[in-house]
Chains A and B, each alone.
Chain A
């Protein structure tokens, strides 16, 4: 398993020629002889241009705004340093008072204590509840629909249907289904399990999660299907010849070969889960009583409804740090497990 990390000077002999000229500086920067920089640049140029103007630029601008009290209307703001960040984070679940570690669990149970932490908690619960199901559900369906079932196209279309329906329409639909007098309750009525799913703070988030899983399996199915196409038939043959069982083939051929796809699916799932917004807004507007208020919904409220753009930007960057940490961990893990052949 070779690792691919082109930022570190790897091959000794390739360095000597380079270093002779620049006294070791080039290898410090990671420039090695076996790099094809011009080609790389050519391939990536259009993306870099658009990226810089429309992605990187705005992100840096947003970062700049997070240190200001900014008004969209006036298109200007006043510098406040870290005040925004402090305001968002305080009171915190864990703090140090007089040298002792103090735990303030109210921040996680009481939305009026600190809505940021409460929303983060909601988002976290949402992520834990939906991501594994979406990923494994998608994988399972992809495996099933990869080969063995007839009428594959129809089935795949069926599973992808929820993804194709726009989020707003889907959320409205589910709100109707889960209404106190809706379809689902009319089936549950005989069992005494009917409930006001959307209107009860205890179950509203669960309802949103259900909708998310319903809508998320299809996407992952497609990603996995694409990844599965890259696994050469011969590997399965070889495994079968060696007497591997179905599970064995999965574990030893399919799963490792899906490594690259897994990385993609996991990171995208995490990004998506932590940024959930549309369905929470349309389904229940963050209610009832903050039950479905997620981090991005909170950012929307603060930045757009209340005009506190600086706070919104600060929250966005805190969220970014969280997501990036996780993704980077996945990235490092992926790098160490890579197969290159």
Chain B
């Protein structure tokens, strides 16, 4: 399913040995769960055999999680964990298994379809984790935690997240006379035009045909997708339309291309082959750049996405949770596993793999992020990020909006009309 392509937690296969080496050196000191039942810990129910599952972007990720699971296993005598990643059709499989009562104990859930799971009451509530000592739930970015709440109860803990930021090729910018990275929409527009005139790349900027950056732009302009009570979408508001118009303006001016127009599959490849000078993409592009396009890699800088002068900083966030099934045999042990996987040390270690960002605010102080400033930029944006998840009917909404965005990008639709249509359709059919 394309969820993965657009969400982007997919990394190149040729991952560095660094990953495997680090994975083997994990010490999860902080995750021994005790079952003495005292306040500040989670009660477990005697011995438990837990099944953990997720998808694996590549063998690095599955190696890492296997290591995590093994370590947890060793540190907790009563709990054994077996990890079995799903190879394809993850969402469909989870739905089927949960419906049939055959679900694993702990599993990933992408924020985009989290809502449709939580509303059915099939998830285990994780509020008890707020009371665990040393776990520090508050450290996790609020927008991310909110993405996994339903009606006030917490049903998932973010395992990581990604934000979108502006990637630019510095030499190309300088060559075109752009000395400073643009910080406003107007600035971005002018910079792109200048790059276009300098003519050293195939296209100044590249974006998917479904206009993914729109989800960041609209928030910058003060728009919102769902109304506060979640009963309707507000995509036809003036703010949203302006945001889309800005993106289409870039198309019309010939400075924004779609991947097939410049013979690439995605942004990372576009930046790496210098087919484009700028793009808005997430941290998963960095491993690709580091491994496959090492010669260009040093020229690429990461900045926050430019925002309109009358608006505010915002970006889109993609996040995945660890959740558990409501009817699991071992709720206590499952909660323990989740807290073990997402505690301070566990998350830091995962962050050091460089594939996604740690969901904990305090981790921007980590040495890793001091030395990897591009990823730090992504991490900083977490504060003003908006998860691409729109309630229980998120998939339905995206299924109806994305094709219209595509239509607008391809010139088949006017931006205003596209959003009005989408809003009408969604509000009548879906919500």
**Contact A301 to B399, CB < 8 A, known contacts A71-B120, A288-B406:** yes
Tell me the complex Cα distance, A57–B176, Å. 67
- Across the interface, B403 reaches (CB within 8 A) one of A87, A196, A287, A307, namely A287
Question: B residues 109-132 with Cβ under 8 Å of A?
Answer: 116-117, 120-122
Residues of A within 8 A of B100 (CB): 75
**Contact A180 to B2, CB < 8 A, known contacts A289-B410, A307-B116, A307-B395:** no
**Contact A180 to B261, CB < 8 A, known contacts A288-B410, A305-B399:** yes
Q: Is A72 an interface residue (CB 8 A)?
A: yes
Tell me the complex Cα distance, A308–B392, Å. 12
Tell me the complex Cα distance, A266–B96, Å. 34
Q: Is A111 an interface residue (CB 8 A)?
A: yes
Cross-chain contact A199 with B260 (CB below 8 angstroms): yes
Tell me the complex Cα distance, A307–B122, Å. 14
Tell me the complex Cα distance, A247–B280, Å. 64
Residues of A within 8 A of B403 (CB): 111, 286-290
**Contact A199 to B209, CB < 8 A, known contacts A75-B99, A287-B403:** yes
**Contact A306 to B395, CB < 8 A, known contacts A199-B258, A199-B260:** yes
Q: Is A2 an interface residue (CB 8 A)?
A: no
Residues of A within 8 A of B412 (CB): 201, 289
Residues of B within 8 A of A196 (CB): 260-261
**Contact A306 to B2, CB < 8 A, known contacts A199-B258, A288-B406, A289-B410:** no
Residues of A within 8 A of B404 (CB): 112, 289
Cross-chain contact A305 with B395 (CB below 8 angstroms): yes
Tell me the complex Cα distance, A297–B99, Å. 22
Q: Is B407 an interface residue (CB 8 A)?
A: yes
List the count of A-B residue pairs having beta carbons below 8 Å apart: 78
Q: Is B421 an interface residue (CB 8 A)?
A: yes
Residues of B within 8 A of A304 (CB): 91-92, 95
Residues of B within 8 A of A41 (CB): none
The B contact surface, by secondary structure, is: helix
Tell me the complex Cα distance, A304–B261, Å. 32
Chain B 59-91: CB-based contact to A (< 8 A → 1; otherwise 0): 000000000000000000000000000000001
Q: Is B393 an interface residue (CB 8 A)?
A: yes
Q: Tally B residues with Cβ within 8 Å of A.
A: 36
Cross-chain contact A72 with B99 (CB below 8 angstroms): yes
Cross-chain contact A74 with B260 (CB below 8 angstroms): no
Cβ of A202 to closest chain B Cβ, rounded Å: 10
Q: Is B298 an interface residue (CB 8 A)?
A: no
- Across the interface, B263 reaches (CB within 8 A) one of A75, A180, A287, A307, namely A180
Cross-chain contact A288 with B117 (CB below 8 angstroms): no
CB closest residue in chain B, given A288: B406
Tell me the complex Cα distance, A341–B102, Å. 56
Q: Is A237 an interface residue (CB 8 A)?
A: no
Residues of A within 8 A of B258 (CB): 199
Residues of A within 8 A of B263 (CB): 179-181
Cβ of B322 to closest chain A Cβ, rounded Å: 18
- Across the interface, A198 reaches (CB within 8 A) one of B91, B121, B260, B396, namely B260
Tell me the complex Cα distance, A210–B89, Å. 27
Cross-chain contact A180 with B122 (CB below 8 angstroms): no
Cβ of A207 to closest chain B Cβ, rounded Å: 13
Q: Is B28 an interface residue (CB 8 A)?
A: no
Cβ of A300 to closest chain B Cβ, rounded Å: 9
Residues of B within 8 A of A181 (CB): 263
**Contact A306 to B122, CB < 8 A, known contacts A73-B95, A111-B403, A288-B209:** no
Q: Is B364 an interface residue (CB 8 A)?
A: no
Cβ of B114 to closest chain A Cβ, rounded Å: 12
Residues of B within 8 A of A73 (CB): 95, 98-99, 116-117, 120, 122
8 interchain pairs (CB within 8 A)? A73-B98, A75-B100, A180-B263, A200-B410, A286-B403, A289-B407, A304-B95, A306-B395
* New A-B contacts (20) at CB < 8 Å, excluding given A73-B95, A306-B395: A71-B99, A72-B99, A73-B120, A75-B99, A112-B400, A179-B260, A181-B263, A199-B258, A199-B260, A199-B410, A201-B412, A287-B403, A287-B406, A288-B403, A289-B403, A289-B406, A304-B95, A305-B91, A305-B396, A307-B116
Binding site for B on A (CB under 8 A): 71-75, 87, 111-112, 179-181, 196, 198-201, 285-290, 301, 304-308
